[in-house]
Every structure is written in C-alpha cells, then in structure tokens.
C-alpha cells in the first residue's frame, strides 16, 4: 500500500490524491473538494468540445491497449436516433494489475464523474459499470456513492437541473478474465458467456444490446474530470508527446514496498522499481521484470533503463500494458513462473478458437514437462512453433497475451530452460 | 430481512455470504425474490441481461446454484435451462456444488506465486484436512485455488466468501482459520 508513504517521484494529482482518505468516499466531502463541478462544466459544453479537449490532451486508454480515448469517442455516431451506451470496464483481472480497485474503493465519486462526462461526450443514456464479481467489498463503496449521486440529482433524469439525463447501473461479473476484453464484456453484460466476437461490428457501430457503445477503463474515465477541469495543456505538462499524463503503477512481486503509485509517464522503469518500491526484499539483484501485467513481454535486468512510456516500452520489445510491473529477483525460477502464467491463460481461454483453447494447454503441459526435468531440447522448438501458430490468428488477443511472455522468456532466459534438461537428453534432442 | 436496495445497484450485492439455507423453496415465489427480479429487469433493455444479477441473487440466498434453480431462472427470463447452465458453468464464481460455510480461495497467480502463494494454499488444505473443492468434516471450510484476485501488491491474497485477506503468509493461516471458526469475521 503506497499511502501514507509518498515518494518524491510521485505526482498524486489526478487519480490518487484522495486515496487512503476515507472521507473522500462520501458525497459531502467530495463536493467540498470541488467534486461534480466538472460534471457541471461538461453539461455546459457540447459533446464535440468535450471529445476535442480529451483528444488534445492525448489521453490514451489505460486498460492495456493504449488507444487514444478522444479518438475512440469520436467514432460514436452522432444523432442517429439510437440509444448509446457507455461501459466502464472495471473487470480488472490482468495478473499484476490492481489499480482500478484502488480508484473504486477510495474515490468512487471520481469514477462516477468520469462516467458522466464520458457519457455526455458520446451521447450515452446509460452507463454500465462492469465490476469484477470478486471485488465485493470495494463495490459496496461504489454502490453507496452511486445511490448518493442519484439522491443528489447528479445521476438520473435532468442532471443538476439541466435537460440532460443519464443513468448508471453497477453490473457485477462472475469470474471470467475474458470479460475484460471489450466485446467479451458486452456479451457478459447482455447475459451471455463472456465470449469475444470478431470485429466488425465494432462497438461504436453495434455494441451492447446491438447499439453504439464505447468501452473505457476505470482509470481512463477517472482521468477525464481533471482534464475537463484544467484543460489539455495542463495534462500535457506530464509525460511525453505520445504518452502524456500520469499513470497509476501497480507494482508487485519481489519488492520492499509493493503497491500503487501515481507517477508521470516517462520515468525510467529502474527508478520505479528501486527508488519508489525499494528494490527486492532479499537485497538480491533483479533477474526479470514483466512491466505491464502478465500479458506483456519479459524484460531482463539489462533493459530496466527503458522509459515508461508507450513508445519507450515498445523500443525494448515489450509494452506498457496496464503499467503493472511484476518484479522477480535472482532466485526466481523463470520456467516455473512462466508455467504459472501459462496456466492462467489455459484456465481463462473461453474456448472459441482452437489455437487458443488447445495451444494454451499444450504450453502448460510442455512447461510442466520441462519443469519436472523430463524436457528435451526439441520442446523449446515446439514452444516457438506454438508461439508462431498462436499469434494474430484468433478472435481476441488472449492467445497473443501468453505468447508475449513465453516467447520473450525463451529468447532472454533460454539457458534456464536448457539447464532443466539433463545433458544426455539434450543430446538426444 | 429485506434491505432496501436502489435499482442502480441491484446486481451488485455481495453474493458469497456465509448465511445459508434461508430459501428452500422456489426463489421467485418469495417477495424479495420477485422484487429483485423486477428491479433488475428495469435496468436493461433486454430481459436476458438480468441473468447474471439474478444468478448472483440465487447464490446469495442458497450458497450454490442447483438444477432446479436454473430451471426457475430460465423460466423467469424466458431462456432455456440449458442456456442458464451454460452460463453457470462458464463463470467460475457460480458454485455448482455446495461449499463449506467459508469458501476460501487462495490466489496462486504470478505475484502471489512469487510470494509463497502455493505454500499458503498447501497450508490451508492441510489445516482444514481437505482436498481442493471438498467440504471439511465440520462443514466449515472449502478451499480452492483461485486465479488473480486483483490485489497483487498485497500478496498472498486470499478471498473468504466476500472478504479479502491480504498479505497472507503460511505462518498466519491457522490464525485466520481460528478467526473464521470463531465467527468474528461477521460484518
């Protein structure tokens, strides 16, 4: 837990200022701090202006893909006479990420404000906040906040006395990683299995209930009120040209001070791991880091000076993802860790695409074999072959998500895999 | 006991509660059941969308979802029982079998794995003298391995019914079990 500890590298401005402060959960204190003024401001703005401000701010989706938020909003049809929906993706289930939960449980009103402004921008009449089912306790804070906001006339019909109306409904999931994929989420919302669908149709054409829909992450929407209040230039004072702003970093694994930290994008990853999080508890060197949640490629200790921006992470062959570094110290068994990661994807594959359904389980079985010492050198080739077969051939990116860590671990830590094979077996190859 | 619930949050009630056996008969023959169903239906343009919230309600009341419940839910939402079963079996949180009074889910995913999650799971199984998914002989506990619970910075994370225990180590497993047995965890 980062609070009350705040590191000098932190910029606790937009998202985390009130984290750790229980009072901020109530509508009264939230209003005392200026809450809902941004919604008022957004009601007086035209939807196009809101979208433009967010576009200019350069805000990118915080759910992992980093798609520009303003651009996503601009895909929504205008004056088509159909109901529009906004889905807030709070199905946080990427291993390593735990930032959205922090927003939900400490600043639920911030999220509600973001949802309302987003809904206003895309002309949505109803916002569904899809929270993962396991977050019972945290959802209760959000529930309370939504009811408070309804009672105060901030949500529902004629918001703040204007002609604009918008409902919010909390919808809880029931345990499926794939419900965090946007089409899977909408399917789940509609009462189906959370199976992603092949695009097109894109959500902005035909999403939830067949109507134009936008799906935004909790952190993305929670950043919007600050941008609306202060403007896009203000937001751009942090980060880089292509990756502006601050980001919540969910740091876990072998760390002295794991937790969530709001840090401007662009800080070297090394500083986050060693300065902010205090390095490894054992004091041993770091062996590997998965920088953006378990679906991103491994980085070796030599690559930690990379800049924590979308482009900086790409340069080292990984991605920013959900900005959730999982740190592994020198004693970590990479094969074992990789087997555990693969097991997750095998468990969570929805089963629609053969490459993913079969591929993920094959990977687990091969890794188990190597882990137990029965591996052959040719198993490594089979794994590479699977990586090839599973990339870019499925409806969603779940199969690709296991390939990123697997392939990078084979590339960067091949010696560890080979060390598990006894020499005569290697010779048989 | 009927709490007043705002329609906006009707689908978001805690549904892995420890209290069981409040409903023996048909769910929607009760006033509370009917009210929840009607309320959920007002929030979606499509009847089927109320399926997850309603299944949550069934589990909240019964602790698990049996075939007769699925048939009843299917009738209420105008889908087939097979369809409801396909949903119940897709999502991991719906219990298809009875579970102990305390359903203990131990995360062993990567961040917890790096922080002794596997050992914590072993300890829970050993101390409750069960295999995964079984109910302990005193009816108190069921222990299962869970995938990421989304609190990775506080590893190892253990979910007991609707409550999170964070930073669990093999050493404090028996304390947690004692606390649960004593019932001091009740909100």
On whether residue A17 sits in a domain, the answer given is no
**Chain position carrying tokens 């079984």:** B134
- Does A345 contact chain B (CB < 8 Å)? no
> Would you say residue A288 has pLDDT above 60?
yes
Cα angle value A116/A122/A128 (rounded, 5°): 50
* Tens digit of each residue's pLDDT (9 = 90 or more) over A216-239: 999 999 999 999 999 999 999 999
Q: For the domain that residue A137 is a member of, what is the CATH number?
A: 3.40.50.11540
Nearest-angstrom CA–CA distance, B15 and A225: 32
**Chain position carrying tokens 């199969």:** A399
- Contact B152/A192, CB-based, under 8 Å? no
Q: Are residues A325 and A352 in the same domain?
A: no
Give the pLDDT of residue A423. 54
Q: For the domain that residue A361 is a member of, what is the CATH number?
A: 1.20.1440.230
- Contact A252/B92, CB-based, under 8 Å? no
pLDDT level of residue B184 (50, 70, 90 thresholds)? low
Q: Which residues, other chains included, contact A169 with Cβ-Cβ below 8 Å and sequence gap of 6+?
A: A126, A127, A128, A129, B7, B8, B9, B11, B43, B44
> Would you say residue A268 has pLDDT above 80?
yes
Task: Find the mean pLDDT for residues A173-187.
Answer: 96
Q: Are residues A208 and A88 in the same domain?
A: yes
Instruction: For A343, name the nearest residue in chain B, comparing CA atoms only.
Output: B109
* The CATH fold of domain B102-182: Glutaredoxin (3.40.30)
Q: How far apart are the first and last CA of chain B?
A: 16
Token digits of residue A224: 């919007």
Q: Are residues A196 and A256 in the same domain?
A: no
Task: Find the mean pLDDT for residues B136-144.
Answer: 95
Query: In the 8-state DSSP scheme, what is residue A340?
Result: H
Instruction: For A91, name the nearest residue in chain B, comparing CA atoms only.
Output: B150
> Would you say residue A426 has pLDDT above 80?
no
- Contact A172/B12, CB-based, under 8 Å? yes
Interface of B with A in 98-157 (CB under 8 A): 108-111, 113-115, 147-155
Q: What is the DSSP pairing of strand B141-146 with strand B102-107?
A: parallel
Residue B114: which of A139, A176, A254 has the nearest Cβ? A254
Q: How much of chain A, in percent, has pLDDT values that exceed 90?
A: 92
Nearest-angstrom CA–CA distance, A87 and A213: 7
- Contact B163/A192, CB-based, under 8 Å? no
Average confidence score pLDDT of chain B: 90
Task: List Cβ<8 Å contacts ≥24 apart for B68-71.
Answer: B69/B27
Give the pLDDT of residue A255. 97
Of B90, B11, B93, the C-alpha closest to B52 is B11
**Chain position carrying tokens 């050993």:** B126
Residue with the larger pLDDT of the pair A356 and B185: A356
- Does the pTM surpass 0.90? The reply is yes
Residue A251: which of B90, B153, B159 has the nearest Cβ? B153
On whether residue A12 sits in a domain, the answer given is no
Q: Which residues, other chains included, contact A130 with Cβ-Cβ below 8 Å and sequence gap of 6+?
A: A87, A88, A89, A90, A91, A171, A172, A173, A179, A185, A188, A189
Give the pLDDT of residue A334. 97
Q: Are residues A46 and A111 in the same domain?
A: yes
Give the pLDDT of residue A425. 52
- Contact A190/B108, CB-based, under 8 Å? no
Task: Find the mean pLDDT for residues A319-325.
Answer: 96
Interface of B with A in 80-99 (CB under 8 A): 86-87, 90-94
**End position of a domain, from candidates A314, A329, A344:** A329
On whether residue A1 sits in a domain, the answer given is no
Query: In the 8-state DSSP scheme, what is residue B181?
Result: H
pLDDT level of residue A340 (50, 70, 90 thresholds)? very high
Q: What is the DSSP pairing of strand B158-160 with strand B163-165?
A: antiparallel
Interface test with B, best of A100, A193, A252, A333 (most B CBs within 10 A): A252
Task: Find the mean pLDDT for residues A341-366.
Answer: 97
Interface of B with A in 11-70 (CB under 8 A): 11-12, 14-16, 43-46, 48-53, 55-56
The three-class DSSP label of residue B168 is coil
- Does A143 contact chain B (CB < 8 Å)? yes
CA distance B187 to chain A (A): 11
Q: Are A255 and A281 in contact (CB under 8 A)?
A: yes
Residue A190: which of B49, B86, B159 has the nearest Cβ? B49
Q: Are residues A275 and A134 in the same domain?
A: no
Give the pLDDT of residue B2. 45
* Tens digit of each residue's pLDDT (9 = 90 or more) over B21-45: 556 678 888 888 899 999 999 999 9
- Contact B12/A192, CB-based, under 8 Å? no
Number of domains in chain A: 3
**End position of a domain, from candidates A277, A304, A329:** A329
Phi-psi region of A279 (alpha: psi -120 to 50; beta: other; left: phi over 0): left
Nearest-angstrom CA–CA distance, B67 and A24: 44
Residue with the larger pLDDT of the pair A374 and A424: A374
Q: Are residues A286 and A407 in the same domain?
A: no
Q: Which domain holds residue A418?
A: 334-428
Q: Are residues A202 and A74 in the same domain?
A: yes
pLDDT level of residue A428 (50, 70, 90 thresholds)? very low
Q: Which residues on chain A are in Cβ contact (under 8 Å) with B16?
A: 136
Task: Find the mean pLDDT for residues B69-91.
Answer: 96
Q: Which residues, other chains included, contact A230 with Cβ-Cβ below 8 Å and sequence gap of 6+?
A: none
Instruction: For B7, name the nearest residue in chain A, comparing CA atoms only.
Output: A169
- Does B159 contact chain A (CB < 8 Å)? yes
| Number of helices (H), then strands (E), in chain A | 18, 9
Question: In chain B, what are the domain boundaries?
Answer: 7-90, 102-182
- Contact B11/A171, CB-based, under 8 Å? yes
Q: Which residues on chain A are in Cβ contact (under 8 Å) with B108?
A: 340
Q: Which residues on chain B are in Cβ contact (under 8 Å) with A115?
A: none
Q: Are residues A99 and A130 in the same domain?
A: yes
Predicted interface score ipTM higher than 0.85: yes
Q: How much of chain B, in percent, has pLDDT values that exceed 70?
A: 91
Q: For the domain that residue A324 is a member of, what is the CATH number?
A: 3.10.20.600
Residue B9: which of A170, A190, A347 has the nearest Cβ? A170
Residue with the larger pLDDT of the pair A241 and B32: A241
pLDDT level of residue B1 (50, 70, 90 thresholds)? very low
Q: Are residues A207 and A308 in the same domain?
A: no
- List phi, psi (to 5°) of A57: -65, -20
* The CATH fold of domain B7-90: Arc Repressor Mutant, subunit A (1.10.10)
* Tens digit of each residue's pLDDT (9 = 90 or more) over A78-123: 989 999 999 999 999 999 999 999 999 999 999 999 999 999 999 9
**End position of a domain, from candidates A192, A214, A235:** A235
CA distance B131 to chain A (A): 19
Give the pLDDT of residue A323. 96
Q: Are A247 and A324 in contact (CB under 8 A)?
A: no
Q: Are A323 and A281 in contact (CB under 8 A)?
A: no
Give the pLDDT of residue A2. 54
Q: Are residues A105 and A159 in the same domain?
A: yes
- Does A272 contact chain B (CB < 8 Å)? no
């Amino acid at each position: 837990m980062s609070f009350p500890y705040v590191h000098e590298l932190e910029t606790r401005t937009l998202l985390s200022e009130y984290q750790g402060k229980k009072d901020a959960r109530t509508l009264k204190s939230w209003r005392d701090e200026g809450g809902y003024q941004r919604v008022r401001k957004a009601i007086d703005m035209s939807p196009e202006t809101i979208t433009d401000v967010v576009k200019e701010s350069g805000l990118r989706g915080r759910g992992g893909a980093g798609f520009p938020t303003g651009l996503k909003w601009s895909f929504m049809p205008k004056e088509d006479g159909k109901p529009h929906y906004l889905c807030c993706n709070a199905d946080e289930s990427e291993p390593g990420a735990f930032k959205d939960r922090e927003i939900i449980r400490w600043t639920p009103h911030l999220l509600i404000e973001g949802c309302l402004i987003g809904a206003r921008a895309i002309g949505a009449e109803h916002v569904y906040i899809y929270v993962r089912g396991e977050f019972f306790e945290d959802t209760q804070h959000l529930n309370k906040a939504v009811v408070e906001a309804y009672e105060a006339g901030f949500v529902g019909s004629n918001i703040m006395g204007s002609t604009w109306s918008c409902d919010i409904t909390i919808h809880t999931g029931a345990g499926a990683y794939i419900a965090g994929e946007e089409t899977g989420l909408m399917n789940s919302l509609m009462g189906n299995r959370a199976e992603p669908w092949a695009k097109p149709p894109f959500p902005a054409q035909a999403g939830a209930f067949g109507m134009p829909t936008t799906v935004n992450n909790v952190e993305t929407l929670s950043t919007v009120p600050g941008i609306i209040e202060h403007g896009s230039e203000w937001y751009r004072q942090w980060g880089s040209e292509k990756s502006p702003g601050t980001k919540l970093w969910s740091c876990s694994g072998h760390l002295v001070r794991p937790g969530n930290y709001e840090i401007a994008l662009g800080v070297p990853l090394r500083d986050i791991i060693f300065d902010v999080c205090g390095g490894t508890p054992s004091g041993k060197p770091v062996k590997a880091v998965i920088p953006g949640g378990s679906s991103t490629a491994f980085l070796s200790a030599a690559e930690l000076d990379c800049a924590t921006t979308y482009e900086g992470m790409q340069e080292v062959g990984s991605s920013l993802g959900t900005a959730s570094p999982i740190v592994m110290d020198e004693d970590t068994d990479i094969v074992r860790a990789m087997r555990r990661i693969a097991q997750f994807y095998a468990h969570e594959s929805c089963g629609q695409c053969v490459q993913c359904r079969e591929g993920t389980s094959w990977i687990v079985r091969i890794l188990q074999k190597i882990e137990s010492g029965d591996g052959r050198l040719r198993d490594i080739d089979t794994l590479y072959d699977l990586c090839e077969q599973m990339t870019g051939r499925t409806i969603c990116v779940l199969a690709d998500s296991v390939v990123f860590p697997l392939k990078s671990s084979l590339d960067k830590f091949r010696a560890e895999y080979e060390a598990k094979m006894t020499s005569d077996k290697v010779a048989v190859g | 006991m009927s709490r007043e619930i705002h329609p906006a949050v009707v689908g978001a009630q805690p549904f892995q509660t420890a209290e069981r056996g409040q409903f023996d008969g048909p769910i929607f023959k009760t006033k509370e059941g009917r009210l929840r169903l009607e309320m959920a239906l007002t929030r979606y343009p499509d009847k089927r969308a109320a399926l997850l919230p309603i299944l949550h309600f069934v589990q909240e009341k019964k602790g698990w979802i049996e075939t007769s419940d699925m048939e009843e839910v299917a009738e209420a939402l105008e889908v087939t029982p097979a369809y409801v079963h396909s949903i119940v079996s897709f999502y991991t949180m719906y219990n298809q079998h009875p579970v102990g009074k305390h359903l203990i889910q131990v995360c062993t995913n990567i961040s917890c794995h790096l922080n002794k999650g596997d050992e914590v799971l072993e300890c829970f199984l050993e101390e409750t003298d069960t295999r995964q998914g079984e109910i302990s002989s005193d009816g108190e506990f069921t222990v299962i391995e869970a995938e990421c619970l989304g609190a990775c910075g506080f590893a190892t994370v253990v979910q007991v019914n609707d409550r999170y225990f964070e930073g669990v180590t093999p050493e404090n497993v028996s304390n947690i079990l004692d606390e649960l047995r004593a019932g001091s965890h009740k909100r």
